[in-house]
Every structure is written in structure tokens, then in C-alpha cells.
Amino acid sequence: MALEIKIPAVGESITEVTIAKWLKKDGEAVKRDEVIAELESDKATFELPAEGDGTLKIRVAEGETIGIGTVIAEISGDGAAASAPAAAPAAASATQADPVNAGEQNPKASDQAGYGGTPAGGAASGTPPTAAAPAAGGSGATKEMKIPAVGESITEVTVAKWLKPDGATVAQDEVIAELESDKATFELPSEAAGVLRHVAKEGETIGIGAVIARIEGAGAGAPAAAPAAAPAQAAAAAPAAQAATSSSNTYASGTPSPAAGKILDEKGINAAGVQGSGRDGRITKEDALKAQPQAATPAAQPAAAPAASAPQAAPAVAGGNRNQRRERMSNLRKTVARRLVSVKNETAMLTTFNEVNMQPIMDLRNKFKDKFKEKKGVGLGFMSFFTKAVCVALQEWPAVNAQIDGTDIVYNDFCDISIAVSAPKGLVVPVIRNAEQLSFDGIEKEIVRLAGLARDNKLTIEQMTGGTFTITNGGIFGSMMSTPIINAPQSAILGMHNIVQRPVAENGQVVIRPMMYLALSYDHRIIDGRESVSFLVRVKELLEDPTRLLLGV
């Protein structure tokens, strides 16, 4: 009997997904839990594992968008007729009836069948290994760990990385996994002490409230029972663990996760040349970010053969590579694009420009930066000057620090400054709270702290929401001038650019000065031209005479 593979539920708000890529071909033999396809929703990309052993029959083509619960493939063969081993007949019948819910009805059978076929190993060696499983978890209660709510707009998360392997002994509050949403990465601590059992796999996307793991033997008796059963379990589990490892390596070793695959495609790197550090040798996102492209000279030699024969077929055609590569836009990128277009369409956005002579700030930094770092323990950068200048100007022109809420205008008497930071997963905007009350060293320390969290993907949603004004610095990438897009629901954003030595007129003389262009994009519905231009001129005055910041004038 063929086993039908259906699209599982991946979140309350998701009703359809797109088949991004078939990782196995039609008619190819597959193993249980082997990843056969990548699915995409408008929020995330996740993997679809095979639910049994057998031959894959694809029903739905790559690129099609289908609803939750739709049958997209079949698996035929002996392994599909009984997706669990014969040693557990109750679990086998449950899996045939409903492969998705079988693990929920019989968690232990699901765990044994899903991690290397332990029942089969137990049958070969006798009854003691089978009896050892209840002994490990029977010393205390089993604690189900569920995905906690991490934000109002987040309905699902991805298991980015298991920090503790399946079967490991964990302590209460010990961090066991890293979870990733479309906005932030956060840690999952253990809710009890005991033996950890994975329910969700690394890279799998699951909904809020879903069970991600179980803690067996949760309670006071768990630590004492674990050493007693350890020798027998270790002896019986060794062959099964070796079999599981070799079985996993047949498909997981060297296979990139969906996020890693996209990064490798963007870099033009072949996954075969990347060493995976994930479970069973899978290539993780971190591996893909660290991967460096190899020299392409060998690849250029085969391409020279068609080019050599080209003049014979079509002498008039000019030489050179004219290949095109087309890739589907991910649903996540579609959502980002839709939001940016929404800001452009729903706001009366306008940009005004000015330029700043950075010589006074540079002279001040060169004079005091060593003493500042020695006394304050942090370097003196440009961002603290800009942040202080912006806070002063915002308090003088409160409309620039306000936002529209329906038919009301909400004015903020505080300055929560959002700072754009480049992170491994993209541009993030952490917020410096009450920046108007911070000193220069306080601002610099907060920027260093938030930038470190961004680089480690440790920023929380609370740390990236609620800002009243944004500063973005495209100058570090060489940008000379730009029109930044407002960070909704804010009403304005300041764009910094690169510093260029240019000739300017001072007191009737042409002199060379380090100049920077400033751009202020603002919502004209709430901010008039007088306010926007006056705000930017005030920032210019404060930056060109930084003693004003110290004296408050």
C-alpha cells in the first residue's frame, strides 16, 4: 500500500505553501526521515521529510502553490506499508492510519522509530535493550516543552540549532536550542532536569505552542536512575547509533539547510565543497556564511570548447558568456518588498539634503580619543555625535519625533533612536532607549552592546521595536548620497554618507574639508517643509560646532 505524503500544518495563519525544490527525483528510492523537498510559505522556508522507506512518486510539480493537507507525493514499497519497525505493531498501525499524529499518540514508539531503528536493534540482541527504554524515562514524569509565545505577529519559528543532542542529560534552565523567527533569534532553556528527547528536527519550522521536545525523568529521581541504566543502554545502543549515523550520512551529510542553500547560491558556491557542522554533517547557515568561493579556472576550461566551435556555427555572433540565470523570489523577500512598497504608497515621503563639515568633530576626536577610551573604556565614534545632535533637534522640532495613529498624531517626549546595524542575517535596527538622557560614552557603550547582539543573532523583538526616529549610515559601504525609506510607523529617518575631501569656500577662500552629505526622509503628512529643513539645519549646526552639544546651546 502506497503512503501518501501530505502538506503538514505549519502555522495558524498559513493556508498554502509553494514547492520551492524537490531534493529527490521521481522514482528515486528514499529512506524514512530523509528530506525530499523544500517548501516555502510567505514567512519561512522549511523541509519536508519522508515518512517511510520506499520509492518516491511525485504528484505536484516544482514551483506550484498548494493548500495545507494536499497530497504532493506517494511512497511505495515495503517500508511505506509499515513506516514503523515490525517490533512495534501498535506504532506501525498508527503510522499507517495517520503518519503525522502517530508520534503524538505514542511518543516513545515515535522516538524509537525515528532515530535509527532502535527496536530492530533490540530484537536482534534480546529483550533487555527494549526494557531499558522505560527505565530511562520511568524514574520521573515526562515534561513536554512547547514553543513559547515570542511576539504578537509571530505564529511560527524554526529550530535553528540543537545545542544539546537527543538523549543528553540536561539541567533545569540549561539552554538546549536556538530558535529563529523572521525577526529575531532567541534561546530555549530546559524547563526541567532529565533526559532530553527531540521532537522537532533541526531546520524544521513549527508553530507557537507546538511540542518541540520532551524531558524524560523530570524530577528528583531522574539523576539517580540515569547512571544505573547507562551501562546497559550504552552497550545496546552502540550498534543502533552506528547504523543511525551511517543511514543519516547517506542523505544529510553535505546537504545544506534551506537558508544555507540560498546563501550558497547567492555566493555561487557548490555545496559539495562545504564541510557541514550540523547534525549528521548537514550544512548550516553558519557554515554557508563562512564558506569562501573557490577559484573558477577549472570551470572556465569546459566552457571554452563551445566557444571555440561557435564561429563555425554562427560567425557573426560576438564571443562572450551571455547566459542568464532565473531564480524564484522567495516568499519572505516578497513580504519585505510588499512592506517597503506599502511605506512608499501610504506615506507622502519626501527627502531634503544638506552637507556637514566634519573637520571640527574629527579634530575633537583626534585630540581626546585616547584619553576618552582610557577613562570610559570605549572608543569615541561618529555615531555618538550624530545621536546627541539628533536628540537635541528632535526636542526642538517634536513633529519629526511624532507618528500618525489613525486620525491622531502621537508626540513622543522621549527619544528612542533606532540605529541600523549590518548583521549576518541582514540589516537590523536595534533601539537605543531614552538616548536624550545618555552621555557620549553611554551611547557608544549601548551601540557596541547592540551591535554585538546583532552579530550573534541574539537581538530580541523588544530590542528592535518601538523606536521614534532612525539613523542609518550608508557611508560605511561607500554611499555618497541616498534617499532612505522611512522605518514605519516612524515619520522620519536620517541618512549618513561617506566623508569626502572636497573644496569648499570659507571666508572667501577655497579650502579642502572633509564633507558629508546628510539626507532626511520624512512623511509630509505630519512634517512640513519648514520643520524638516530647520531640523536638518539644526543637526548641521550642532555637528559643525560640537561644543554646542556640551554646553546645550
Residue 464 vs residue 308, higher pLDDT: 464
Q: Shortest CA distance to 391 belongs to which of 462, 446, 311?
A: 446
Grid cell for residue 227? 547512571
**Quick check: is 402 in a domain?**
yes
Residue 449 DSSP SS3: helix
Q: Does position 304 have pLDDT exceeding 50, yes or no?
A: no
**Domain match, 354 and 284 both:** no
Residue 378 DSSP SS3: coil
| Residue 528 designated active-site | yes
**Quick check: is 27 in a domain?**
no
**Domain match, 269 and 399 both:** no
pLDDT 10s digits, 375-419: 999 999 899 999 999 999 999 999 999 999 989 999 999 999 999
Q: How crowded is residue 537: how many other Cβ atoms within 10 Å of its Cβ?
A: 13
Most confident of 292-301, 305-314, 352-361: 352-361
Distance, in Å, from the CA atom of 146 to the CA atom of 213, rounded to the nearest integer, reads 7
Q: Shortest CA distance to 259 belongs to which of 60, 7, 20?
A: 20
Most confident of 20-34, 245-259, 523-537: 523-537
Beta carbons within 8 Å of 35's beta carbon, 6+ residues apart: 23, 47, 48, 49, 50, 251, 252, 255
Of 290, 306, 331, which one is at a domain's C-terminal end? Answer: 290
Q: Does position 442 have pLDDT exceeding 90, yes or no?
A: yes
**Quick check: is 46 in a domain?**
no
**Quick check: is 514 in a domain?**
yes
Distance, in Å, from the CA atom of 44 to the CA atom of 330, rounded to the nearest integer, reads 9
Which CATH number is 282's domain given? 4.10.320.10
Tell me which of 173, 363, 456, 524 is the catalytic residue. 524
**Domain match, 474 and 357 both:** yes
Overall domain count for the chain = 2
Q: Does position 237 have pLDDT exceeding 50, yes or no?
A: no
Phi-psi map region of 268: left, alpha, beta (phi>0 left; psi -120 to 50 alpha) = left
Which CATH number is 418's domain given? 3.30.559.10
**Quick check: is 13 in a domain?**
no
pLDDT at 384: 93
**Domain match, 286 and 405 both:** no
pLDDT at 551: 76
Per residue, the 3-state secondary structure of 534-548, as one string, reads HHHHHHHHHHHCCHH
Q: To which residue does cell 514547492 refer?
A: 19
CB contact at 8 A, 541 and 393? no
H-helix or E-strand containing 255? none
| Residue 33 designated active-site | no
**Quick check: is 21 in a domain?**
no
DSSP 283: B
**Quick check: is 360 in a domain?**
yes
Mean pLDDT estimate for the chain: 78
Q: Shortest CA distance to 251 belongs to which of 97, 406, 6, 53?
A: 53
Provide the residue range defining the domain that includes 445: 348-551
**Domain match, 278 and 380 both:** no
**Domain match, 441 and 543 both:** yes
**Domain match, 449 and 538 both:** yes
- From residue 88, alpha-carbon distances to 72, 92, 95, 109, 124 in Å are 28, 6, 11, 7, 14
pLDDT at 126: 43
Q: To which residue does cell 527496536 refer?
A: 119
**Quick check: is 278 in a domain?**
yes
**Domain match, 363 and 447 both:** yes
**Domain match, 265 and 364 both:** no
**Domain match, 380 and 487 both:** yes
pLDDT at 493: 96
Query: Which residue(s) pair with 518 in the sheet?
Result: 354
pLDDT 10s digits, 48-69: 898 888 999 898 888 888 888 8
Q: One-letter amino acid identity for 168?
A: A
Tell me which of 78, 111, 528, 545 is the catalytic residue. 528
Distance, in Å, from the CA atom of 166 to the CA atom of 22, rounded to the nearest integer, reads 28
**Domain match, 286 and 352 both:** no
pLDDT 10s digits, 15-30: 888 888 889 988 899 8
**Domain match, 369 and 458 both:** yes
Of 290, 308, 330, which one is at a domain's C-terminal end? Answer: 290
